[in-house]
Structure formats: C-alpha cells, structure tokens
Structure 1
C-alpha cells in the first residue's frame, strides 16, 4: 500500500515558503557550524564509504554504545549506523511487520510508526496518554492492548511530543508485557540526554533480547543535517535484516555524516555539546514556563525531558487556525498545531533552536494573537 502523508509533515511542507521571523516550537538544540569540526577532519579522507564496515565506523558505534550506557552489555555488531533515527525506525518497521500483524503505539507520539505500519497492512492499536494524568503512559491500558497478535510495541522515551519520561521501573514492566507475548519493543530515544528531572532512563536494548533502541545526533546535539542515527539490538538476525534492507534503499551511510558525528560523540566533545544544549534548554524552558503561566488562554505540563511539550488552548481556539494566522503578517511566527499529533486543541511549544529561533519574540507575537482571538 502507498505510504500516506501524516499531518506533521503536511504542516511542515506548507510552512516552508512562509519565511517566518520567529519559531515557537523548535525541536532541536542550536546547531553547531561546520567550522567547529574542521580541525578534527582529515582533508585526505576519502569520500567513498568508510571501507571498513557496512554497519558504520567502528569508532562511531563505540561512542553510540557509550552514550547509551550499553558498552558493557552490547557488542559493536549490535549497532547499525543509519540516516537518522527515522531510517532506523523505518528499517525495523519495514522488516518486522507483515499484513495482519498488530503494532501497539502511544498517542500522542511520533507518527512515523502508525503511518508505515498502516501502509504495510498491519493493524495499529493506539494507547492514549492522557493530559489529566500528566501525559503518563497508562501501563494497564498498554497491557490490555497487547495480545498474542502483537508483533511490535513502538514508544518514544522521552515521549515525543509531551516530554514525559518512562523510568526504570516502568520500562521493566513494559519489557515484562512485551516478553509475555514474544513481541518486539522499539523505543526511540532521540531526546535522551536532555532530562530536566532525574537521570537518563536505561536503554531497552540492554534490558530485553527483543529490545531495540534507536537514536541520533539530531536533537540533543543539534546535528539534524548530518542525517546520522543508529539502531541497537542484541538480536543478530534483526540487525542483519536491517542491513539487507538498507542495502536496497540508501545502501551505505553518508561518510561525512559519520565522520562529523564520530567527532561530536567523542567523550569530551559529547559532554561539552550536551552541557551547552542542557544549559540553553533549561534557561529557555524556565522562560517558556513563566510565559505560559502568564497566559489566560493557554496552559501546559512542562516537559520532564527534551525540548518540546504540548500547550493546551482555551475554549474556542483551534490550533490549525491559530498556526495559519501566526504565519501571516504581522506575526510572521511558526508553530506546529496539535493536529499533527491528533490533538487540534493543542499546539507544540519548543525551547530549542538557539538565538536564531527568536523564541521570546515569537512568544510575544503569540501572546498578541491569543489576545486578539475572538471570545
């Protein structure tokens, strides 16, 4: 079946020609510049593939395991470097799911999984996170949704887009639920490392034989343009299946992306980059929270981790209409409506992007638009 466009991508496509002056809802840390890496790049490096391993540079995969806390549990053969976490998720979804299989997903959540699963003829079973419960994942509902027909459970941690965290005890229970029916469990960790309350959660690839961890350098390090991510799984067959599919699609990794990501994930560079992103994110999150508290027609639950959360609009305000109005003069501000996640009464609020996002200017313009909205 044809892959259909999900609402999030539709909004992004429609907004690219608008040239906004401010962004409210930027989802990744401020991006470094190429010049930040030039001293560590070898000018004689071949622009052919790495000529060493189809799974990606061994040094890069070593860093991936280290930052995920899996160096004592997983082997380099358990890591495949991919074109972002999106390709990692795609490779798993495409190779695991067949018509008639069931996949359990969270809502709100990253829409890639239900879109691809539906295109493959799988049955999508949603489990709703509820705002009144702080966007917590209801584990009793999850257990009820999982059956003998469940092939895969797909989650994000921290949750994208609410920023709610799953802790160790919750992850252990989810593993127990998955193992009870022999299901695979994929947890997308693109926001790992940006925890505002408590430690980083353990990666499921180290907790469960059918556990799959995906991640990238895009969000916490602001390196989205490298298109460099990974999947980690101790099941050799699943990793090999992913290699085979990638050979028939993107084939090999972007050598420049691998090289720069390897530099960015070197322990000293990674700690510095993550510290910078955490400091900027925490400061902007305080500003955002103070601003929301001053708005009478908007509320939210601040994210426990990551750079985005969902703002709840007052009665009578439609997120899509508000987003369209904000793109036009005099506001010239971009935000993502909650319809991208099936919640039209919400908007996505983000604290990333650095100075170029003009966050405070965007919030002032959003305040004006909310004040001007008819009662």
Structure 2
C-alpha cells in the first residue's frame, strides 16, 4: 500500500518556509501555554507510559465520555485514546477497509478517508455538498450512494471545512441508511462544542451499534500539539482491532499528552475553556461576516459551527494562484486554497486563534490582495 500525498498537505509542505507575516484561516482556538497546567502536574510523574491501561488513562476516558454526552450510554471500555483524531480515523480506516470494499465520503470534507481508501484499493463514492444549499449534506443522495457493498460511511460533524451542522434528526436518518446495509458509520467531531446557531449534536457512538465517534483536544481547546484524541465505539472487537494496530504503529500514548489532556478536560477547566473559545470564535466570526460582506470579490456561507468556512472567489479566480499571490510580497499572508478540499474557486477562512490571531491585520492584507489581483481580461 502506497499512500499518495494529498493536495492539502502538499501545499503545506511547499509553503512551510514562506514565513508569512499574517495568517487568515486559524482552524483552532487560541492555544494555552504549558505554564497554565504546571500547578496540576506531578513533578514525580514517570515519563514511561501510564502503566494502567493500554487504551488510555481511565480518568481521561471518563472525561471523553462526559464532554461528548455519552456518560451512561457508552462505557470507558468503548474509548481508545489516540494520537489525535487523525490516528483514531486512521486506525478505523486501516482495520475496516479491504481491497474491493466500498466507502462513502462527503465532499467537501476531511480528505483523510479518501487518501487511505485510494491507497487500499477501495471503491470511493462521493456525496457532494452544494454551496447553494448552504453546504448541507444531501441525505437523499447519501441514501442513493449507500449500497449493499458499502463497508463504511465517513462524515464530519460539524463539517470540516464548511462549518455545516447536522442535527439529531439528520443523524438518525443517516443511522437508518447505514443500518439498512450493515455499514459502519464514522463521524469525526473535532469541532464539536463550537456551535453558533444550534445545540451540539449527539455523538454517533451513542446512537448506533456500528457508530464510531472520533475527536480530540486540538480544535476547541487549542491543544493541537498534545496529539491527543480518541475514538469511541460500542463494538468491542473494533476497539480491540484498533489497539492491536496501534501496537504496531505508535504503540502507546505519550504520557504528557494524556496527563495534560486529562487536566484540560476536567469539568472545572473544560467549561470555562469552552466558554472562552466560543466567545472569541463568535466575536471573530461576526467580524469575518462583516468583512466578507464588504468585499466585492468574495462571498461565503458563514459556518454554523466550528472555526473555519469556505469563501468563494468571484470572477473565476483560481484559489491556488491567488493563495500564492497572497503569500508573496507585499501581502505576506497565508491561507489554504480551496483546492485542498476540491473547491478550486474557494479559499479557507478561519476565525480561530483568539486575540493572538490578529485577524484584522490579516483581513486588511487579504482585502488589498483581492483588489490588486489581476482580473481575467484585465
């Protein structure tokens, strides 16, 4: 199996040395500093593994269930702590999918599932979200796409990268679609908890026997560098298979990631941290909405949840060319082109990063670049 590089990661690799002076598109909340956790860290902590549970610190697993609303619905045995949601997704994709299987994915969506599926010789069926419909997942097309050969449905909720949000009723219908053919259903919830116009949706692991919830502390809590996430599934065999695969990859979790994540998810810390992330994200989103409305060369459907959305470049502007134009002098500003999500006329706009993101500076530079960019036929 040879994994080919995805457009998103390729652009990141190609621009890593660009040293931009501004960034528009922060995808996570403002990151805390290590000093904020020092009082709760034991200086005698062994830097060996946790010595208690191969599937993760028991206290951390309990917090994972609590924040997802799964306490009493799922058990700690249903939780596996992983190196971020990316590893959680990877473990599921690698263990469930075999050559000749079929997977149904959304587009735009998080590209990881498609990358792995292609490498494994899996048949991929895409269900397209349309901007004209507010990026909502078309459930009628999902129903048509799922067949008796479908092994796995891979979705994100809130959607990454559009910020669309599926509610309980939509998820119940998706469960019915999956159950009709016995398919597994994975819902990546890395942006859960950052909803702007509705309540947090229920986690799929609590709704379906073959439901898999993945998440992490990376986005809403800004703790991306901990590389600590999880998968939750009531199927004991899937959890065991994931543990076995992880044993032959990362093997065990890093103890510092587990311990700091456990501290961050304690109720007395988690609630105010989420309040702060929501307040700062909401304020930045309001500024972004006002800014987009004032731009002649840009439009967007504001995200209903999460910290990123897709802005549509008008006048047939190619996002790759524009992103590189923006990264050069005199703008020196980084953003991801929409081609990273199969949307070549879009750019990713983010409202994360808190006050430290200095969003106003980035938007001012982006406004100038939109005005200066050569128009077709100009």
Task: Tell me the TM-score normalised to structure 1 length.
Answer: 0.99
Gaps of 5+ in 1: none
What corresponds to 1:139 in structure 2?
139
Cα deviation per residue 1:67-100 (whole Å; 9 max; x = unaligned)? 0000010010000000000000000000000000
**Are 2:25 and 1:12 equivalent residues in the alignment?**
no
Query: Could you tell me whether the CA contact under 8 Å between 1:21 and 1:358 is conserved in 2?
Result: no
**Cα RMSD (Å) of the superposition?**
0.6
Equivalent residues in 2 for 1:162-241 (5 A)?
Answer: 162-241=162-241
What corresponds to 2:284 in structure 1?
284
What corresponds to 2:315 in structure 1?
315
Query: Could you tell me whether the CA contact under 8 Å between 2:280 and 2:355 is conserved in 1?
Result: no
**Are 2:156 and 1:156 equivalent residues in the alignment?**
yes
Q: 2: distance between equivalents of 1:289 and 1:225?
A: 29
1:25 deviates by: 0.7
Q: 1: distance between equivalents of 2:69 and 2:356?
A: 33
Q: 1: distance between equivalents of 2:294 and 2:162?
A: 20
**Are 2:28 and 1:28 equivalent residues in the alignment?**
yes
Q: 1: distance between equivalents of 2:247 and 2:127?
A: 34
Query: Could you tell me whether the CA contact under 8 Å between 1:20 and 1:327 is conserved in 2?
Result: yes
**Are 2:115 and 1:115 equivalent residues in the alignment?**
yes
Q: 2: distance between equivalents of 1:273 and 1:7?
A: 33
SS in 2 for 1:336: coil
SS in 2 for 1:37: helix
1:358 deviates by: 2.2
1:64 deviates by: 0.1
Q: 2: distance between equivalents of 1:215 and 1:181?
A: 26
Q: 1: distance between equivalents of 2:316 and 2:125?
A: 30
**Are 2:367 and 1:349 equivalent residues in the alignment?**
no
SS in 2 for 1:155: strand
Cα deviation per residue 1:184-241 (whole Å; 9 max; x = unaligned)? 0000000000000110000000000000000000000000000000000000000000
SS in 2 for 1:28: coil
Q: 2: distance between equivalents of 1:214 and 1:170?
A: 18
Q: 2: distance between equivalents of 1:13 and 1:43?
A: 37
SS in 1 for 2:65: helix
Task: Tell me the TM-score normalised to structure 2 length.
Answer: 0.98
SS in 2 for 1:213: strand
Query: Could you tell me whether the CA contact under 8 Å between 1:190 and 1:216 is conserved in 2?
Result: yes
Q: 2: distance between equivalents of 1:2 and 1:357?
A: 37
Equivalent residues in 2 for 1:92-107 (5 A)?
Answer: 92-107=92-107
SS in 2 for 1:212: strand
SS in 2 for 1:46: coil
Cα deviation per residue 1:262-302 (whole Å; 9 max; x = unaligned)? 00000010001101100100000000000000001100000
Deviates more, 1:182-191 or 1:12-21: 12-21
Deviates more, 1:5-14 or 1:288-297: 5-14
What corresponds to 1:302 in structure 2?
302
Cα deviation per residue 1:7-59 (whole Å; 9 max; x = unaligned)? 11111111210111111111000000000000000000100000000000000
Query: Could you tell me whether the CA contact under 8 Å between 1:323 and 1:336 is conserved in 2?
Result: yes
Q: 1: distance between equivalents of 2:174 and 2:152?
A: 12
Deviates more, 1:320-329 or 1:254-263: 320-329
1:105 deviates by: 0.1
SS in 1 for 2:185: strand
Q: How many residues align?
A: 375
Query: Could you tell me whether the CA contact under 8 Å between 2:217 and 2:261 is conserved in 1?
Result: yes
Displaced runs of 4+ in structure 1, greater than 2 A?
A: 354-358
SS in 1 for 2:127: strand
Query: Could you tell me whether the CA contact under 8 Å between 1:221 and 1:273 is conserved in 2?
Result: yes
Gaps of 5+ in 2: none
Query: Could you tell me whether the CA contact under 8 Å between 1:313 and 1:319 is conserved in 2?
Result: yes
Query: Could you tell me whether the CA contact under 8 Å between 2:277 and 2:354 is conserved in 1?
Result: no
Query: Could you tell me whether the CA contact under 8 Å between 2:187 and 2:204 is conserved in 1?
Result: yes
1:356 deviates by: 3.4
Cα deviation per residue 1:116-172 (whole Å; 9 max; x = unaligned)? 011111111100000000000000000000000000000000000000000000000
